[in-house]
Amino acid sequence: METGPRPRTARLPLILITALFFLWGVANNLNDVLIPQFKKTFTLNDGQSGLVQSAFYLGYFVLALPAGMIMRRYGYKAAVVTGLILFGAGALLFYPAAEARHYPYFLAALFVIASGLAFLETSANPLVTELGDPARSEQRLNFAQAFNPAGSIAGIFIGREFILSGHEPTTADLAAMSPAALEQFRAAEAHAVQAPYLALAAVVLTLAAVVAAVRFPAPANRPTYDAKEGSVLADLRKLLARPRFMFGVAAQFFYVGAQVGVWSFMIRYAQAEAPGMGEKAAAGVLIVSLWALFAGRFIGTALMSVIAPWRLMALYAAINVVLVAVGVTIGGTTGLYALAATSFFMSIMFPTIFATAVKDLGPLAKTASSFVVMAIIGGAVLTPLIGWISHLSSIRIAMSVPAVCFALVGLYGLSAGKAAAR
């Protein structure tokens, strides 16, 4: 990677790549609105509605490694364009899924969207860590990721204003409806997702065309594959022999599971623990929570100038264990606001885990980044687990799962600190 002054023509490509962080934030957090939306549209329990995140994050898991291979063979720009095309295609699939009003069709569309995001995250994250002093890679990636919460906020806002109707019939209300009225209700709720996702598809596919047309600096177009580096399987064998890296992958798995679990069920938690708070008001609390994430990303990046990233992450993880414990033991609006506050302290976790996991891996970092992205499947595994625990007991008890996850992230932070000291 060149270390001299960045060419003047790199400014537009940098703006376009920064937009990726925003766009996958929109897609990720629209899911938090889709869960309550599909729950009432298709009369699902918490476990079934949690499959929204299973389908979504399974796409990351399945496509992260192929994305890494394409990036190695054809370069970062090719991976970005491929990801945007898949992203846009998945968003377009929401239209026929809504016409058919079949839940599995929506899950398939979400899988395609996430497949595209796997390409985007696999290419964008490692590129940012390499654009400067390696000693500041965590700080630099946290800054770039700061634009992701803005997209998350936009996603929840779009969902609240254009998808959620505010009509929340109980099971008894649904049973009392005539077949015609019930069909009309379900059709209206299913069709509510069409316009937002068609608009998202238009933006994403337009960006794909622009990225394809704009000239990028040579490093973005140059294949990163080198026969001397060996195959992906050879890289994997080497990575499996590195406990610190494997702990980083595990930490990312549990962090994403905690993050997605808390956000996915925050509206559900509010409905159960704050009587009288409707889905739109609960979505407003989630928006405030994401603003806290947004602020936390910038504040955390600044704090890393004086506090080691691993130490700050361990501290933040410990605070989140306490906050989630409040949500589990106290509940009510106090518990809801405690869960909302966790977003501030989540802010630095994903990029810090990512950067510390791939740090000092040299040529292995390209394959390693794919596996760290694959760890996002934690959202697919742990979110439905939280949903099923909620279905069998209560949403408060189910929030014990994120508490355990944050504790494990804290242990990884301490472990990374010991490795840095060595």
pLDDT for 80-126, tens place per residue?
999 999 999 999 999 999 999 999 999 999 999 999 999 998 888 66
Q: What is the pLDDT of residue 122?
A: 81
Give residue 421's pLDDT: 62
Q: What pLDDT score does 127 carry?
A: 65
Is residue 64 predicted with pLDDT exceeding 70? Answer: yes
Segment of 20-24, 146-150, 167-171, 254-258 carrying the highest mean pLDDT: 254-258
Q: Which of 125-134, 142-151, 186-195, 240-249 has the weakest average pLDDT?
A: 125-134
Torsion angles phi and psi, residue 177, rounded to 5:
-75, 150
CA 239 – CA 229 distance, rounded (Å): 13
Token pair 């405030």: residue = 288
- Mapping DSSP to helix (H, G, I), strand (E, B) and coil, where does residue 347 land? coil
Query: Which residue in the block uniquely carries the two structure tokens 């760890």?
Result: 375
The reported pLDDT for the residue numbered 355 is 85
Give the C-alpha distances (Å, rounded to integers) separating 208 from 137, 144, 353: 27, 20, 29
Cβ atoms of residues 182 and 316 within 8 Å:
no
Tens digit of each residue's pLDDT (9 = 90 or more) over 283-302: 999 999 999 998 998 899 88
Do 414 and 105 meet the contact criterion of CB atoms below 8 Å apart? no
For the chain, what is the mean pLDDT? 87
Residue listed under structure tokens 């997702």:
193
Which pLDDT does position 219 carry in this prediction?
65
The residues near 135 (Cβ < 8 Å, ≥ 6 apart) are: none
What is the SS3 assignment for 166? coil
> Which of 50-64, 67-81, 94-108, 152-166 has the lowest average pLDDT?
67-81
| Residue 6: predicted pLDDT | 41
Model confidence at 416, pLDDT cuts 50, 70, 90, reads confident
Mean pLDDT of 17-22: 87
pLDDT given at position 9: 36
pLDDT at 5: 46
Full set of structural domains in the chain with CATH: 8-421 (1.20.1250.20)
What separation in angstroms does the CA of 367 have from each of 218, 317, 354, 377, 407?
Answer: 21, 27, 13, 17, 27
